[in-house]
């Protein structure tokens, strides 16, 4: 396996961060030693480690131990709310035995916003919040939050607790979290905070640079796809027509130009025989043709996009729900983004121009080159070398490891039932009955407790209703979406 060996003689920090549980389990000790050495040596550990080994505790102890001594900031990156909870609970256990670790739990800004009627997500929310902040019309943002910041730094809180505390004092929870994060040693947040354009605002706000960071990437097998999802764009004729309608009350010229581009694009897509890779200049030409005016002087691509972006900001300022910022984004990215990008054109009435990021290392290579160290972990990070290549992690800094399951082989029986499926097309009353029967049968036969996992809350609800009605001989605990 490609990768470097860690030096056995590397000096490890003093170990001021205690182990949060009674003992280090079999399988955890190798992982813990590798993680400590990786962070001390400034490397990147890609750990293919099975479920149940206790990855969160290993990564947090190793990273925090170094960060507290060397004034680094640990970012625990996860996309799952349940893993936010596990990370915070683990920190609380560490604190119960050792030093206080200033920690902030952070989720997407739009999910923390207190403004009623704010756009629910995406570019529109960002524009909305930026405008509120710049124009000083968000009272939650302008109000003095120093007391709340001081309070949330006293105790490690789940993000929901932080939002409640901020809401009670009428101050913006995201601002509280960011102000407190600047004084923290650990921030639990989504991948986006590092692997998207958000990083350019996030790190300066914390007063940190890349080399101050030790990253823990939870469920790291998801990272390449999450990065790719940032550079995706689709533009159909219908999007342009909708945008033109929205723009009509804001900027007549932009609305007229959007209609012209929609017509030009429709002509192009109708004449196209089949889907194929597109050239950058094909779309630019379609736009330029759409901007032409009989006998008058037309704006060029760049001036039009500036006008469109301005109309989008104006819509947000006036509180009009708008797709104009997203459409403007497509025009900018099609023109400016080249590296690792695939451009496509699809013909016909539902046709479109589209672009996709194929190579995630375009965005992640500079991060891994710049940060102090990282621990990437997952139960399915295999082959680790492939993930290291995909993410652009330098060969001389990558440490690739596979750890054995801590559970005895006889406890890892895998059985597949050929009679049930959660396939969407097969769902229905009979299948729900069959799934509940299978679970009920296993519950009756197994002496201890039992955990059942479902791909959706809807399926969970169907099974739960039936199991309750069937009076299975065990107490049932159910996870709720909230």
Q: How many residues bind ligand SF4 (CB under 6 A)?
A: 14
172 or 377: whose CB is closer to ligand SF4?
172
CA distances from 458 to 13, 220, 424, 479 (A): 48, 27, 12, 12
Residue 126 interacting with ligand SF4 (CB under 6 A)? no
107 or 220: whose CB is closer to ligand SF4?
107
Residue 138 interacting with ligand SF4 (CB under 6 A)? yes
290 or 312: whose CB is closer to ligand SF4?
312
Please state whether beta strands 44-48 and 373-378 pair in parallel, antiparallel, or not at all (unpaired).
Answer: parallel
Residue 397 interacting with ligand SF4 (CB under 6 A)? no
Residue 193 interacting with ligand SF4 (CB under 6 A)? no
- The side-by-side arrangement of strands in the sheet containing 373-378 is 103-105, 186-189, 73-77, 213-217, 373-378, 44-48, 398-402
Helix (H/G/I), strand (E/B), else coil: 108? coil
Q: Which two tokens stand for residue 2?
A: 């490609």
Q: Which of 4, 133, 332, 443 binds ligand SF4 (CB under 6 A)?
A: 133
**Spatial separation of the C-alpha atoms in residues 332 and 305, rounded to whole Å:** 7
Taking contact as CB under 6 A, which single stretch among the options 92-100, 106-114, 336-344, 372-380 is the one that binds ligand SF4?
A: 106-114
By residue count, the chain amounts to 482
**Spatial separation of the C-alpha atoms in residues 117 and 468, rounded to whole Å:** 39
Q: Which residue has the tokens 């102890």?
A: 61
**Spatial separation of the C-alpha atoms in residues 346 and 197, rounded to whole Å:** 28
Q: Around 206, how many Cα atoms within 13 Å sit in the side-chain half-sphere? A: 28
Residue 123 interacting with ligand SF4 (CB under 6 A)? no
Residue 24 interacting with ligand SF4 (CB under 6 A)? no
Residue 180 interacting with ligand SF4 (CB under 6 A)? no
Taking contact as CB under 6 A, which single stretch among the options 128-136, 182-190, 340-348, 453-461 is the one that binds ligand SF4?
A: 128-136
Q: Which two tokens stand for residue 78?
A: 């996860």
Q: Which two tokens stand for residue 303?
A: 């001036």
Residue 131 interacting with ligand SF4 (CB under 6 A)? no
**Spatial separation of the C-alpha atoms in residues 391 and 395, rounded to whole Å:** 11
Q: Which of 69, 114, 284, 341 binds ligand SF4 (CB under 6 A)?
A: 114
Taking contact as CB under 6 A, which single stretch among the options 81-89, 132-140, 218-226, 293-301 is the one that binds ligand SF4?
A: 132-140
115 or 402: whose CB is closer to ligand SF4?
115
- The side-by-side arrangement of strands in the sheet containing 352-357 is 232-236, 352-357, 341-346, 276-277
Residue 174 interacting with ligand SF4 (CB under 6 A)? yes
What minimum distance in Å lies between the beta carbon of 133 and ligand SF4? 5
Give the DSSP letter string of 8-49. Answer: TTPPPP---S--SSSSPPTTHHHHHHHHHHHHHHT-EEEEE-
7 or 143: whose CB is closer to ligand SF4?
143
49 or 129: whose CB is closer to ligand SF4?
129
Residue 334 interacting with ligand SF4 (CB under 6 A)? no
**Spatial separation of the C-alpha atoms in residues 238 and 378, rounded to whole Å:** 41
What minimum distance in Å lies between the beta carbon of 282 and ligand SF4? 39
Q: Which of 36, 109, 352, 432 binds ligand SF4 (CB under 6 A)?
A: 109
Residue 148 interacting with ligand SF4 (CB under 6 A)? no
Interaction pattern, residues 45-84, with ligand SF4; x per rule: CB under 6 A: ----------------------------------------
**Spatial separation of the C-alpha atoms in residues 172 and 28, rounded to whole Å:** 40
Please state whether beta strands 276-277 and 341-346 pair in parallel, antiparallel, or not at all (unpaired).
Answer: antiparallel
Taking contact as CB under 6 A, which single stretch among the options 131-139, 242-250, 371-379, 405-413 is the one that binds ligand SF4?
A: 131-139
66 or 140: whose CB is closer to ligand SF4?
140
Residues contributing to the site for ligand SF4 (CB under 6 A): 109, 113-115, 118, 129, 132-133, 138, 140-141, 172, 174-175
């Amino acid at each position: 396996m490609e990768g470097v060996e860690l030096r056995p003689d590397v000096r490890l920090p003093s170990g001021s961060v205690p182990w949060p549980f009674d003992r280090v389990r079999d399988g955890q000790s190798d992982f813990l030693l590798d993680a400590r050495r990786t962070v001390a040596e400034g490397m990147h550990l890609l750990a293919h480690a099975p479920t149940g080994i206790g990855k969160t505790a290993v990564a947090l102890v190793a990273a925090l131990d170094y960060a507290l001594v060397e004034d680094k900031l640990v970012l625990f990156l996860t996309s799952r709310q349940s893993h936010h909870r596990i990370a915070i609970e683990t920190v609380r256990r560490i604190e119960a035995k050792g030093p206080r670790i200033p920690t902030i739990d952070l989720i997407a800004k739009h999910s923390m916003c207190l403004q009623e009627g704010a756009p629910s997500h995406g570019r529109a929310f960002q524009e909305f919040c930026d405008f509120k902040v710049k124009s000083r019309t968000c009272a939650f943002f302008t109000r003095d939050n120093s007391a709340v910041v001081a309070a949330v730094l006293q105790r490690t809180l789940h993000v929901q607790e932080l939002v409640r505390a901020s809401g009670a004092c009428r101050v913006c929870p995201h601002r509280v979290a960011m102000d407190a994060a600047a004084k923290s040693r650990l921030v639990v947040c989504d991948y986006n905070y590092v692997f998207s354009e958000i990083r350019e605002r996030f790190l300066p706000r914390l007063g940190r640079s890349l080399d101050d960071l030790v990253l823990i990437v939870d469920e790291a097998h998801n990272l390449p796809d999450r990065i790719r999802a940032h550079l995706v764009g689709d533009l159909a004729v219908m999007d342009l027509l909708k945008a033109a309608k929205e723009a009509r009350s804001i900027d007549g010229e932009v609305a007229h130009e959007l209609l012209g581009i929609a017509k030009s694009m429709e002509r192009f897509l109708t004449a196209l025989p089949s889907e194929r890779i597109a050239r950058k200049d094909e779309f630019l030409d379609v736009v330029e043709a759409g901007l032409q005016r009989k006998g008058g002087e037309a704006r060029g691509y760049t001036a039009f996009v500036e006008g469109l972006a301005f109309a989008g900001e104006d819509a947000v300022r006036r509180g009009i729900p708008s797709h104009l910022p997203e459409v403007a984004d497509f025009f900018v990215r099609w023109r400016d983004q080249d590296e690792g990008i695939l451009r496509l054109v699809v013909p016909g009435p539902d046709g479109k121009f589209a672009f996709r990021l194929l190579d995630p290392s375009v965005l992640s290579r500079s991060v891994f080159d710049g940060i102090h160290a990282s621990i990437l972990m997952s139960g399915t990070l295999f082959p680790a070398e492939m993930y290291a290549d995909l993410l652009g992690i330098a060969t001389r800094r990558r440490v690739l490891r596979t750890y054995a399951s801590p559970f005895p082989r006889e406890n890892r029986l895998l059985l597949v039932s050929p009679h049930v499926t959660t396939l969407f097309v097969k769902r229905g009353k009979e299948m729900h009955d069959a799934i509940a029967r299978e679970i009920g049968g296993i519950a009756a036969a197994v002496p201890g407790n039992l955990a059942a996992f479902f791909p959706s809350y809807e399926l969970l609800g169907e099974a739960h209703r039936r199991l309750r009605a069937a009076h299975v001989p065990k107490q049932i605990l159910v996870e709720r979406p909230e």
